[in-house]
Structure 1
Amino acid sequence: MLELKNLRREFPAGEGTIAVLKSIDLQINAGEMVAIVGQSGSGKSTLMNILGCLDKPTHGSYQVNGRETGQLEPDELAQLRREYFGFIFQRYHLLSDLTAQGNVEVPAIYAGATTTERERRSLALLSRLGLGERTQHTPGKLSGGQQQRVSIARALMNGGQVILADEPTGALDSASGVEVMKILAELHAEGHTIILVTHDMTIAQHAQRIIELRDGEIISDRANPEPLGQPSAATAVHNPLDASDAADAPDINAPLSSRNGFAAAFDRFLEAFNMALLSMNAHRLRTFLTMLGIIIGIASVVSVVALGEGSRRTVLENISSIGTNTIDIRPGTGFGDRMASRIRTLVISDAEALAQQPYVDSVTPTVSSTATIRYGNVESAGQIQGVGEQSFQVRGMKLAQGSLFEQDAVRDRRQVAVIDDNARKTFFPDNPNPVGKVLFLGNVPVQVIGVLQPQTSSFGANSGNVMIYVPYTTVMSRMSGQNYLSTITVRISDSASSQAAEAGITQLLAQRHGRVDFFLMNSDTIRQTIESTTGTMTLLIASIAVISLVVGGIGVMNIMLVSVTERTSEIGVRMAVGARQGDIQQQFLIEAVLVCVLGGVIGIGTALGFGEVFGRFSQDFKLIFSMQSIVTAFACSSLIGIVFGFLPARSAAKLNPIDALSRN
């Protein structure tokens, strides 16, 4: 079954090497019980590691059932360990976070056994070994003898054709040692191949064959005609299941049926996921500190994006308050043109011509003037805006009291006015409803017919200045005496393109004036500029916040590397019972991703909580969270877990099984 030819194992020693095994030739047949003995340093443990495919020879050949192990990849060696070997270690090497049953089932998970088959087989094995009432106890709650029995049950879980026992009684008291040797003898009687590694000749006397090593060479290979404690097949321990259950009891000596494909891979994923949760729970403080960088980074990114979206919405609302998608037409070549006051070509007929265009929703001429405004014994300088009846629609102004003037008021040059909230507070501080009162604009009396709602926008607001809106015809005929307009404001139809409308206005007025003696101020352009600026600032700040994510990711990588170091022995145990490199890598990668995903969820929750608190203290500005930014942040946290968890996970998967087992 096992054959070694001219096998040699060397280890580095300073600048040279030292040979631990030298020219080993050995054959072990199926069903034998063999003891490998020798003093410390003789090479017996190294030989056992090679026999169990935990280590590879430097030179020579080792075959398992005719299969040359030196040419196998790591996952193929793991397959051999799953299918042929069961390990019983001196220090038990049980996984401390799993129950007795969970430890026994680990090899079957990697072998692809079904959940039902694993549970029945593990319970049957533990019951046979006298642990039927201790299946849900963790190793810390079991005695040394009980832990070694769990180790034996684990070795038998996948069938255990070859049981490799390294000093199986070395850490036990004499009574427990006797019990363990009795169990091994019974397993041998049932057909298992048993290989004992011990320095105790008393233990070796239980074997049918004793192989003695000295200085890495076999100095004796002899039969033991009278092995101790060997039961006959008739006296071998029976399965203590009730007779009523015997028909349903699994055959604990038969190899497990294994599955391939998605179902088996999913079981291994669940095992890795469960171990990741157990590890995180066992080191809660370290896990939280690892998450902290991710939490801060995700919370910062989500909050900054929400801040940028809130700023954008506020800008849009402010621009809407002075007229959504409006174009102001002013004389001159632009702001600062000193000759603009001499250009008087904007006239009422221009506004009327513009109102006929298909891309125009509404138009208002505007004539501006200033005057001393009086009511009773209250005087204040104010701005008089002569506007058309569509001005309030163009500007998006809302009425608080009274009414707005109509077209007939403009046509008849009526002396009526609509005042803003500043004017109401200035002239009528004690009168909540000033509709019907008369104001004097210089020497011209006007009757207040409406009051506008307060403007919340910083655009177009007058910083406390008084604004009075009267028909533009009244201002032109009764106050300023001019026959030209200060500005014309056009509101573009929602179905029209702002750029196309701007081009159409320029073409129409240029034809009417014979030249371009005006300039346009497009509120949509202002909005786009401010949105672009806001977006750039948001991106800049978000980029800074992303740095904290990267720092958090580096923290995850460092902690996971520490975790790999701390759990090296666990990795070795899993490899010994048949875990593939991909299984080990998956386990640590899942843990890294879980840390980052959980940190991302907490970070998102923190950002939402901050937004709620911020909203309670600020009535004028709110953080606007978008589902897209939240999903993106969540995806980023997952990606960080994968990217920064890959190196530690790969480092764990590349460990040599025997090196991992030898570390404490």
Structure 2
Amino acid sequence: MTISQSAKQPPNNASTSIENNSPNNTNTATTADKPIMELSGIIREFAAGEQTIRVLHEVNLTINQGEMVAIIGQSGSGKSTLMNILGCLDQATAGDYKIYGQSANRLDADELAELRREHFGFIFQRYHLLGDISAKDNVAVPAVYAGMNTDARINRAEELLTDLGLGEKVNNRPSQLSGGQQQRVSVARALMNGGDVILADEPTGALDSKSGEDVMAILHDLNAKGHTIIMVTHDPKLAAQAERVIELKDGYVIADYKTEHYKPTTRQPDSILGGHRKSAFASFVDRLLEAFKMSLLAMRAHKMRTLLTMLGIIIGIAAVVSIVGLGQGSQQQILSNISSLGTNTITVNDGYPRGDPRRKYNDDNLTPEDADAISSQPYVTNVSPQVNASSSVRYRSVQEDSTINGVGEYYLEVTGETLALGQGFDSQSIKLRSQDIILDDNAKNAFFADIDNPIGEVILIGSVPGRVIGVLEENDSGFGPDISTPTIYMPYTTVMSRITGSANIDSFVALLDDSISSSAAESAISDIIEGRHGKDDFELRNSDSIRQTIESTTGTMTLLISSVAVISLIVGGIGVMNIMLVSVTERTNEIGVRMAVGARQSDIMQQFLIEAVLVCILGGLLGIGLAFAIGELINNFAGDSFKVIYSSTSIIAAFICSTLIGVVFGFLPARNAAKLDPVDALSRD
């Protein structure tokens, strides 16, 4: 039987040697020949600066099912390049390579990965095991990408290792194994998915004599079971153990002959994957979990680098959440202070609106009857008329210029102020024009600094005596009357009749029902007063508009400062991208191994993308935790005067943001990893 071979004559015009040392073989083809690999005019060139180096010169070969082939030659002869093309790790520059009758030149990256996954098994000189996982998991990696059932995968990996004498080492990592044991793990991995074709690159090159003999015995046994063995070696003694030898020199095939061991066979290895495959979705989930596990292992192996990578994300997320919390706390504090003037209130002031030229001609048109008219409206809860005056106030030897406020019986309810001592005014106080007074905290300190409880004391407002019936709580909100001037409160009817002598009021405050729109109530009140007066000689002030303005202002400030904090997130994302690019560079060899055993480009991409996302998610969680710690610190030191209030929306948004950063900034490194050429990746350490 003749195995077809042709090659361009080498430059030295040496004749190509085709020999058959087996006396039992003839030059007549038999039915035992079953070509699985056919190479026609294969050329492989590599760029070297501005020049191109040709490593293989129009190689023509046919390799049949069940053969044990040794490719031999000196270093630089092109034997490893030829093996890489045969194993679909590399592609020829020119020529055609058919595998199982299908042209490899027309297959895309994932289709080539499928060939490596389903039909090839690789045994490398330097083992190329994944150092972070056990021997069993190393062996099982090809089956993960092939979609083999989990139980079947684990059982087969353990059986293979046991058959190869490593039954007690299945959970050991590569660093815990000798060179010979690591090579056995590599053999078991090559057989995991069946491995119709086993490609061994210098399988005994890094082993001692005994381990080398053991590996060769394993290869002979595999060949006897129907596996096609293609072995690259520079050792003629090792090549002599094969059934067929292909010799290369300077990229040319100079010899192709059968040895005395040649035995034609049509036996095929047992099918492994057929009955053990998962569904497409289950297989995808399995590969996702494998990528997740490898990402965690990579992060654990480089703890300090992972932490430094997270740092930008941690700071950015903590800044965003803390700033939003500070903004919320500031807003609530300001609104709480405003509530001391009354919440959801409308104040009607006498006089034309600001900017109206008639404003200086104030004819005092606002009356208590106007306040009564508004108080009868269904959307108004309470109304307090107000009259303002100033007078000299004296208690014994203490005399101060003070502000006199005439108010209604519902003043405290309308404004939200509270009493520290005593009581407020009632309807009888208003009706009988009682000379009762309430002091604010400044008035109490001015006139009764040495008296804890001034209730019942009498003071003179001008020439009008008044009896103290109440003291207000201190108002330190910054809103309301001038806090530097003592303020005396009396029934507005008393102030009108005994102090100002006027029948008009200066203003009144209407407390609205919380279920009513303040803007609608404001419009209705305006219409009523204008209808009563026949003109718009009054001015409205809506406390809700103040609240909205403050909310808008604090919200804008929070957004502005948060946008600055987001910049730190972007910077952190760039840091993640840079570190992931470094990680891809460091783990190029691992990527090559995964591609060699059948990983798709999407499998490689999702592994590095998951790692980037995990870094950002973990950084985001730590950032949120840091923000809570900062907030707790501020709340403890600030006491009741100020609180950091966390927004669940900002926390969720920050978490989503950190995840998106992982996706966006992890995509480029992941894509670069997926686009690596398998043979280039394997050649890097």
Normalised by the length of structure 1, the TM-score is: 0.94
The answer to whether 1:312 aligns with 2:331 is yes
Counterpart among 486, 492, 496 of residue 472 in structure 1: 492
- Counterpart CA distance in 2 for 1:189 and 1:358 is 100
Partner of 1:370: 390
Partner of 2:146: 111
Whether the 8 Å CA contact 2:310–2:619 is kept in 1: the answer is yes
The answer to whether 1:264 aligns with 2:299 is no
Partner of 1:359: 379
Counterpart among 435, 447, 462 of residue 467 in structure 2: 447
Counterpart among 294, 297, 315 of residue 275 in structure 1: 294
The alpha-carbon deviation at position 3 of structure 1 amounts to: 1.5
- Counterpart CA distance in 1 for 2:73 and 2:339 is 92
Partner of 1:238: none
Whether the 8 Å CA contact 2:194–2:272 is kept in 1: the answer is yes
Whether the 8 Å CA contact 1:388–1:410 is kept in 2: the answer is yes
- Counterpart CA distance in 1 for 2:399 and 2:109 is 95
Partner of 1:246: none
The answer to whether 1:204 aligns with 2:239 is yes
The answer to whether 1:399 aligns with 2:422 is no
Whether the 8 Å CA contact 2:346–2:512 is kept in 1: the answer is yes
- Counterpart CA distance in 2 for 1:169 and 1:253 is 27
Counterpart among 639, 657, 671 of residue 650 in structure 1: 671
Matches within 5 A, 1:578-617: 578-617=598-637
SS of equivalent residue, structure 1 residue 425: helix
Give a deviation string over 1:106-156, Cα, whole Å, max 9, x none: 111001011111110111111111111111111111111111111111111
Whether the 8 Å CA contact 1:331–1:340 is kept in 2: the answer is no
**Which has the higher mean CA deviation after the structures are superposed, 620-629 or 16-25?**
16-25
Counterpart among 276, 300, 309 of residue 319 in structure 2: 300
Give a deviation string over 1:545-564, Cα, whole Å, max 9, x none: 11111111111111111111
The alpha-carbon deviation at position 578 of structure 1 amounts to: 0.3
Give a deviation string over 1:306-341, Cα, whole Å, max 9, x none: 122112212221221101111222233345889557
**How many aligned positions are there?**
643
The alpha-carbon deviation at position 430 of structure 1 amounts to: 4.2
Partner of 1:131: 166
Whether the 8 Å CA contact 2:292–2:610 is kept in 1: the answer is yes
Give a deviation string over 1:76-125, Cα, whole Å, max 9, x none: 11000011110000111011111111111111100101111111011111
The answer to whether 1:325 aligns with 2:344 is yes
- Counterpart CA distance in 1 for 2:389 and 2:616 is 63
Partner of 2:272: 254
The answer to whether 1:661 aligns with 2:679 is no
- Counterpart CA distance in 2 for 1:280 and 1:252 is 39
Counterpart among 289, 293, 301 of residue 308 in structure 2: 289
- Counterpart CA distance in 2 for 1:78 and 1:36 is 23
Counterpart among 214, 218, 225 of residue 183 in structure 1: 218
Partner of 1:639: 660
The alpha-carbon deviation at position 16 of structure 1 amounts to: 3.8
Partner of 1:563: 583
Whether the 8 Å CA contact 1:159–1:254 is kept in 2: the answer is yes
SS of equivalent residue, structure 2 residue 272: coil
The alpha-carbon deviation at position 266 of structure 1 amounts to: 0.7
- Counterpart CA distance in 1 for 2:529 and 2:380 is 14
Counterpart among 534, 551, 560 of residue 571 in structure 2: 551
Inter-CA distance 413–341: structure 2 relative to 1 (3 Å threshold): farther
Inter-CA distance 183–573: structure 2 relative to 1 (3 Å threshold): same
Partner of 2:440: 420
SS of equivalent residue, structure 1 residue 46: helix
- Counterpart CA distance in 1 for 2:134 and 2:380 is 78
The alpha-carbon deviation at position 26 of structure 1 amounts to: 1.1
- Counterpart CA distance in 1 for 2:349 and 2:98 is 96
SS of equivalent residue, structure 2 residue 167: coil
- Counterpart CA distance in 1 for 2:589 and 2:605 is 15
- Counterpart CA distance in 2 for 1:14 and 1:523 is 77
Partner of 2:4: none
Partner of 1:5: 40
The answer to whether 1:26 aligns with 2:61 is yes
Alignment RMSD: 1.9
1:565 corresponds to which letter in structure 2?
Answer: T
- Counterpart CA distance in 2 for 1:363 and 1:576 is 84
The alpha-carbon deviation at position 395 of structure 1 amounts to: 0.5
The alpha-carbon deviation at position 288 of structure 1 amounts to: 0.9
SS of equivalent residue, structure 2 residue 127: coil
The alpha-carbon deviation at position 206 of structure 1 amounts to: 1.5
- Counterpart CA distance in 2 for 1:604 and 1:252 is 55
SS of equivalent residue, structure 1 residue 383: strand
- Counterpart CA distance in 2 for 1:526 and 1:14 is 72
- Counterpart CA distance in 1 for 2:238 and 2:444 is 107
- Counterpart CA distance in 2 for 1:515 and 1:351 is 17
- Counterpart CA distance in 2 for 1:321 and 1:499 is 21
- Counterpart CA distance in 2 for 1:255 and 1:210 is 31
The answer to whether 1:534 aligns with 2:550 is no
1:642 corresponds to which letter in structure 2?
Answer: V
Counterpart among 353, 362, 382 of residue 402 in structure 2: 382
Give a deviation string over 1:199-250, Cα, whole Å, max 9, x none: 11111111111110112121111111048xx9x9xxxxxxxxxxxxxxxxxx
Give a deviation string over 1:398-424, Cα, whole Å, max 9, x none: 233322110111010001122223333
Partner of 1:140: 175
Percent identity for Structure 1 against Structure 2: 58
Partner of 1:621: 642
Structure 2 gaps of 5+ residues are 1-35
Partner of 2:27: none
SS of equivalent residue, structure 1 residue 225: coil
**Which has the higher mean CA deviation after the structures are superposed, 310-319 or 281-290?**
310-319
- Counterpart CA distance in 2 for 1:663 and 1:602 is 35
- Counterpart CA distance in 1 for 2:153 and 2:335 is 63
1:421 corresponds to which letter in structure 2?
Answer: D
Counterpart among 444, 457, 482 of residue 502 in structure 2: 482
- Counterpart CA distance in 1 for 2:356 and 2:499 is 26
- Counterpart CA distance in 2 for 1:394 and 1:108 is 76
SS of equivalent residue, structure 2 residue 449: coil
Whether the 8 Å CA contact 1:387–1:470 is kept in 2: the answer is yes
- Counterpart CA distance in 1 for 2:252 and 2:191 is 31
- Counterpart CA distance in 2 for 1:518 and 1:24 is 102
The alpha-carbon deviation at position 171 of structure 1 amounts to: 1.0
- Counterpart CA distance in 1 for 2:217 and 2:313 is 54
Inter-CA distance 15–280: structure 2 relative to 1 (3 Å threshold): same
- Counterpart CA distance in 1 for 2:172 and 2:449 is 81
- Counterpart CA distance in 2 for 1:136 and 1:569 is 22
- Counterpart CA distance in 1 for 2:441 and 2:350 is 30
Structure 1 gaps of 5+ residues are 233-250
- Counterpart CA distance in 2 for 1:336 and 1:623 is 40
SS of equivalent residue, structure 1 residue 7: strand
Whether the 8 Å CA contact 1:125–1:252 is kept in 2: the answer is no
Partner of 2:96: 61
Give a deviation string over 1:608-628, Cα, whole Å, max 9, x none: 110100001112111111111
The answer to whether 1:429 aligns with 2:449 is yes
- Counterpart CA distance in 2 for 1:520 and 1:303 is 38
SS of equivalent residue, structure 2 residue 390: strand
Whether the 8 Å CA contact 2:353–2:537 is kept in 1: the answer is no
Whether the 8 Å CA contact 2:436–2:466 is kept in 1: the answer is yes
